[in-house]
Chain A
Amino acid sequence: MAVYQHDVVVVGAGLAGMRATLAAIKAGSNVAMITKVHPVRSHSNAAQGGINAALTSRGDDWEEHAYETVKGSDYLGDQDAIEVMCQEAGAAIIEMEHMGVIFNRDEEGRLGTRRFGGQQRARTFHVADITGQAMLHVLYEQIVKANARVYEEWFVTSLVQDNAGAVRGVVAIEMMTGQLHLIKAKAVILATGGTGRLYEPSTNGLIVTADGQALAYAVGAPVMDMEMVQYHPTTLKGNGILMTEAARGEGAYLINKDGDRFMKKYAPNMMELASRDVVSRAEQTEINEGRGVDGCVFLDLRHLGKELIETKLSYINEVALDFSNVNLAEKPCPIRPGNHYEMGGIKTDVTGKTLVTGLYAAGECACVSVHGGNRLGANSLLDTIVFGRRAGEHAAAYAKTIDQVNIPDSVLSKDRDHIKALMDQKATSDTPAKIRLDMGRAMNEGVAVFRDEAGMQAALKAIRDLRQRYVTLGVHDKGQVYNTNLIFALELGFMLETAETICLGAIARKESRGAHFRTDFPKRDDENFLKHTVVTKGPRGPVISYSPVTITKWKPQVRSY
């Protein structure tokens, strides 16, 4: 067994992870990035529409962006954090452009914008409809340029702590050999992405399995507002694949089976560009009341014309044709709300610091909180690069204050035993895939667009039953090299633990706010629930507590679009 040591270890190599890595390198740290897939396979790839920023140099107002983010969050976002994000957005975008992102231009050769949901002004910068991919590949180019150390296709199984409880490294499986390694560090940044695969279907890739949330939770770092799970209004029926909000930003309609633009009933001012939670609920209401077809309503781009679709929306044009046999220029595309994004996550401050010493988090796995109850489209990419950079800088500065890392090499034994148990246990007909599917369906039924007590309790019970099944799970593949069967079993453990925190947070929040809409408590209740749900792992299971929402300028108001 080799033991590795670095100042800062970043887990995850999506936008937040790579941005953090570059920032920590720049700050003079010895940094390593650990990722279970090659960096350019990360799920940041799938972000299509763009990234928001108020470029004040050309007259936009970052406070307007901040206000719209606060309103979008249904007043659950922390306003100091939102101000930080929106104020730093312009510089962050320009920095990405300087690194090489080929943002679309206007006629003068300056950065061009498009409109996005929940905002009055066009301030979404983009690379056609492959913005995430274009940014991800450019950050990887910078990682190559910096000659950064990357442990590629290594899967982190746990965080290790010293005697005082500070996080001082990780244990990881090198997938190519099956070997377990200890990587010591003075600080660890988690940037592992969201929780998509807890749900079935989901827009998320198969690798999005709540690893970071579970790793942090296991060492006592609380997770926050996990019940705030975003359903994206436009996902394909069969496999849940995303059709970007940029389609509506460019002017696409949502219509029901009668051809009516039904959003006029639900959001007469913003129409199709209302906040995502509002649009998803509107669609689900149309479907529930019989004005859908086959569980779907339609995204209609026909009036936009072939040329616009082929240049600005070429990727979704390809996807619609590949997976739904729909030519967007000719036919409306059947779509429905689908699991997309986790607003909640590991509780951090604006420097990325969690409540456990030495542990930082950034990107979708973190909750700063800038998205509150509902994230605005194109704010997620912004979150990753602003708070990724901040986490990298602050973790690097913190690491400089630590002289020595005291971890006995024996910390490996716990993970080794767990893996040995999974490998030795006789494999039955029960597989990680079957348990995951049951979990995904339970979550998608009980903790979805419309929720109620009975449904959420049923989901919680299902998750707890599945955890019992998980205890007796064995893996079929007994090999050492690239054993994905084993990795899926480990990921499933992470997912089940995280799913429970989502159910508990949702049951405890007896109001409707943002993406959390309860038919049994349909009103927002600022008096009792203008606060963050915090779930911490206790000796006898999860413990729920609350923490206040930071309000700076914008007092909660009735939210309408």
Chain B
Amino acid sequence: MRVTLDIGRFNPDAPNAKPYRQEFTLEVEDYYTVLDGLIRIREYEDPTLTVRCSCRASICGSCAMRINGHASLGCKTKIINVISKDGRVRVDPVGNMAPVKDLVWDMAPFWDKIRAVQPYLQPEGPEPQDEYIAPAEAMQHLVGVMGCIMCGACVSDCTVMEVDKNFLGPAALAKAYRFVGDPRDGAVKDRLKALNEYTGIWDCTRCMECVQACPKGVAPMDRIMALRDKAIVSGLHNTNGARHAEAFADLVKKNGVLDELRLVPRTYGMFNLMNMNAMFAAIPVGWRALTHGKLPPIIPHKLHGKENQDAVQHIYDKVEGHKP
């Protein structure tokens, strides 16, 4: 099979260093991965091509890169599965992080975020003589998160980090979940409190990009949602995120449809002085909506017909565990 790898490159040693693109066309076997192709170029065409890689088996996490615009591992992506009709594959460095040279990126901010979640077990009380007794299912469940190889693919494609560099991001939050979900950890409440702050679990917009990018099935967004549940269950209600979730559910339960006008103040908290600024900031948005005929109705709509209202009630009963 003939493939043209179109590579986004960067040579920091060049005067006025700027990113540029270079194409290499090569003959490859069907089982070749994108990384195999890059290694081939590095070994036989251009030894200056630079990429981090080691295991070739999706376990060391070195070779995260963007392939046709989406982050993945070079060693886990077969060329045959991503090649275009005209025989091309586009390869770029990961997003949201600064390039160092070609496909090598600066990992320091990534690790800073990991460090920020206190990424180590904090058991309570004296250590037992033998192992901690822990339910087999709980440990098996954690294997799915421990499968994270810290490759950074999720961070590359995170749409929140694109606009807010302070967001802890999917990798660090998945790592945090690994401890919150660990029956041996004694600092769960403190962890959740910290994650409940700005930059934490409520800043995710649920775009699913991290789930799609993760080469190991860790599904970081699902872990973030699980952290939200755990935060609310543990009594941490005093955040925009928690209030938003509760108000959303409440309003739909009441009317059968969402009452967007009341969602905003309830999210910020009606009498929450800390959030007055945010409330005022919403006023121009409301004004523009009004002048463009987009303001939600002052008197909220209700779902028509008892049958429909019952159906919605039925959903709530089911989710909340009441008998219908």
A37 to B53 Cα, complex, angstroms: 10
Contact A477 B47 (CB under 8 A): yes
Q: Beyond the given A37-B62, A134-B143, please list 11 additional residue pairs across the A-B interface where CB-CB is below 8 A.
A: A41-B54, A57-B129, A57-B130, A94-B130, A100-B120, A102-B146, A105-B139, A109-B135, A137-B150, A322-B78, A479-B101
A207 to B60 Cα, complex, angstroms: 11
B52 at the interface (CB under 8 A from A): yes
Contact B143 A130 (CB under 8 A): yes
Looking at A43, A205, A325, A434, the one whose CB has the most chain B CB atoms below 10 A away is A205
Q: Given A130-B59, A433-B42, A482-B104, are A238 and B47 neighbors across the interface (CB < 8 Å)?
A: no
Across the interface, which residues of A come within 8 angstroms of B143, CB to CB?
Answer: 102, 104, 127-128, 130, 134
Across the interface, which residues of A come within 8 angstroms of B59, CB to CB?
Answer: 45-46, 130, 133, 315
Please tell me which one of the listed residues B42, B50, B127, B136 contacts residue A98 in the complex, with CB atoms under 8 A apart: B127
Within 8 A of B (CB), among A29-68: 37-38, 40-43, 45-46, 57
Contact A45 B60 (CB under 8 A): yes
Contact B131 A102 (CB under 8 A): no
A476 at the interface (CB under 8 A from B): yes
A484 at the interface (CB under 8 A from B): yes
Across the interface, which residues of B come within 8 angstroms of A94, CB to CB?
Answer: 130-131
Task: Enumerate 17 A-B pairs (CB-CB under 8 Å) in ascending A order.
Answer: A40-B149, A41-B52, A45-B149, A94-B130, A98-B131, A100-B121, A106-B136, A109-B134, A112-B136, A130-B143, A133-B147, A133-B149, A134-B146, A144-B120, A206-B55, A433-B43, A484-B42
Across the interface, which residues of A come within 8 angstroms of B129, CB to CB?
Answer: 57
- Complex: chain B residue closest to A95, CB-CB: B127
Across the interface, which residues of A come within 8 angstroms of B36, CB to CB?
Answer: 239
Looking at B48, B55, B56, B100, the one whose CB has the most chain A CB atoms below 10 A away is B55
- Complex: chain A residue closest to B145, CB-CB: A102
Across the interface, which residues of A come within 8 angstroms of B42, CB to CB?
Answer: 433, 484
Task: For residue A173, give the distance in angstroms from its CB to the closest CB of chain B.
Answer: 15
Please tell me which one of the listed residues B56, B62, B119, B120 contacts residue A41 in the complex, with CB atoms under 8 A apart: B62
**B interface residues with partner A (beta carbon < 8 Å):** 11-13, 29, 31, 36, 42-44, 46-48, 50, 52-62, 76, 78, 100-101, 104, 107, 111, 114-115, 119-121, 123, 127, 129-136, 139-140, 142-143, 146-147, 149-150, 182, 184
A242 at the interface (CB under 8 A from B): yes
Report A449-461 CB contacts with B as 1/0, cut-off 8 Å: 0000000000000
Contact A431 B43 (CB under 8 A): yes
Please tell me which one of the listed residues B31, B54, B120, B184 contacts residue A145 in the complex, with CB atoms under 8 A apart: B120
Q: Given A241-B57, A318-B58, are A141 and B13 neighbors across the interface (CB < 8 Å)?
A: no
Q: Given A100-B184, A144-B119, A433-B44, are A109 and B100 neighbors across the interface (CB < 8 Å)?
A: no
Task: For residue B73, give the distance in angstroms from its CB to the closest CB of chain A.
Answer: 10
A64 to B104 Cα, complex, angstroms: 48
Report A110-151 CB contacts with B as 1/0, cut-off 8 Å: 111000000000000001101001100110011011000000
Contact B182 A102 (CB under 8 A): yes
A102 to B179 Cα, complex, angstroms: 11
Looking at B62, B131, B149, the one whose CB has the most chain A CB atoms below 10 A away is B131
A433 to B62 Cα, complex, angstroms: 20
A323 at the interface (CB under 8 A from B): yes
- Complex: chain B residue closest to A129, CB-CB: B143
Contact A206 B119 (CB under 8 A): no
Across the interface, which residues of A come within 8 angstroms of B135, CB to CB?
Answer: 105, 109
Report A227-246 CB contacts with B as 1/0, cut-off 8 Å: 00000000000110110000
Q: Given A99-B121, A102-B146, A433-B47, are A109 and B133 neighbors across the interface (CB < 8 Å)?
A: yes
A134 to B121 Cα, complex, angstroms: 13
Across the interface, which residues of B come within 8 angstroms of A106, CB to CB?
Answer: 136
Task: For residue A127, give the distance in angstroms from its CB to the closest CB of chain B.
Answer: 6
Contact B58 A322 (CB under 8 A): yes
Please tell me which one of the listed residues A105, A481, A484 contacts residue B134 in the complex, with CB atoms under 8 A apart: A105
Across the interface, which residues of B come within 8 angstroms of A207, CB to CB?
Answer: 54
- Complex: chain A residue closest to B48, CB-CB: A477
Contact A476 B48 (CB under 8 A): yes
Task: For residue A111, give the distance in angstroms from its CB to the closest CB of chain B.
Answer: 5
A475 at the interface (CB under 8 A from B): yes
- Complex: chain B residue closest to A319, CB-CB: B57
Across the interface, which residues of B come within 8 angstroms of A433, CB to CB?
Answer: 42-44, 47
Interface of B is mostly: loop
Please tell me which one of the listed residues A109, A318, A434 contacts residue B136 in the complex, with CB atoms under 8 A apart: A109
Across the interface, which residues of A come within 8 angstroms of B44, CB to CB?
Answer: 431, 433
A130 to B121 Cα, complex, angstroms: 19
Task: For residue A480, give the distance in angstroms from its CB to the closest CB of chain B.
Answer: 6
Q: Given A40-B149, A482-B104, are A110 and B133 neighbors across the interface (CB < 8 Å)?
A: yes
- Complex: chain A residue closest to B183, CB-CB: A109
A458 to B319 Cα, complex, angstroms: 73
A108 at the interface (CB under 8 A from B): yes
Please tell me which one of the listed residues A43, A142, A325 contacts residue B54 in the complex, with CB atoms under 8 A apart: A43
A293 at the interface (CB under 8 A from B): no
Contact B60 A43 (CB under 8 A): yes
A437 to B12 Cα, complex, angstroms: 29
A238 to B31 Cα, complex, angstroms: 8
Please tell me which one of the listed residues A109, A133, A325, A476 contacts residue B47 in the complex, with CB atoms under 8 A apart: A476
A520 at the interface (CB under 8 A from B): no
Contact A97 B60 (CB under 8 A): no
Contact A242 B57 (CB under 8 A): yes
Please tell me which one of the listed residues B53, B107, B133 contacts residue A206 in the complex, with CB atoms under 8 A apart: B53
Task: For residue B78, give the distance in angstroms from its CB to the closest CB of chain A.
Answer: 7
Across the interface, which residues of B come within 8 angstroms of A133, CB to CB?
Answer: 59, 146-147, 149
Across the interface, which residues of A come within 8 angstroms of B57, CB to CB?
Answer: 46, 239, 241-242, 319, 323
Report A154-185 CB contacts with B as 1/0, cut-off 8 Å: 00000000000000000000001000000000
Contact A322 B52 (CB under 8 A): no
Contact A97 B132 (CB under 8 A): yes
Task: For residue B22, give the distance in angstroms from its CB to the closest CB of chain A.
Answer: 14
Across the interface, which residues of B come within 8 angstroms of A98, CB to CB?
Answer: 123, 127, 131-132
Across the interface, which residues of A come within 8 angstroms of B43, CB to CB?
Answer: 431, 433-434, 437
Task: For residue A98, give the distance in angstroms from its CB to the closest CB of chain B.
Answer: 5
Contact A141 B146 (CB under 8 A): no
A485 at the interface (CB under 8 A from B): yes
Contact B146 A130 (CB under 8 A): yes
Contact A40 B11 (CB under 8 A): no
Task: For residue A20, give the distance in angstroms from its CB to the closest CB of chain B.
Answer: 18
Task: For residue A68, give the distance in angstroms from its CB to the closest CB of chain B.
Answer: 23
Contact B48 A479 (CB under 8 A): yes
Across the interface, which residues of B come within 8 angstroms of A41, CB to CB?
Answer: 52, 54, 60-62
Across the interface, which residues of A come within 8 angstroms of B60, CB to CB?
Answer: 37, 40-43, 45-46, 205
A142 to B115 Cα, complex, angstroms: 11
Q: Given A40-B61, A176-B100, A476-B47, are A206 and B56 neighbors across the interface (CB < 8 Å)?
A: yes
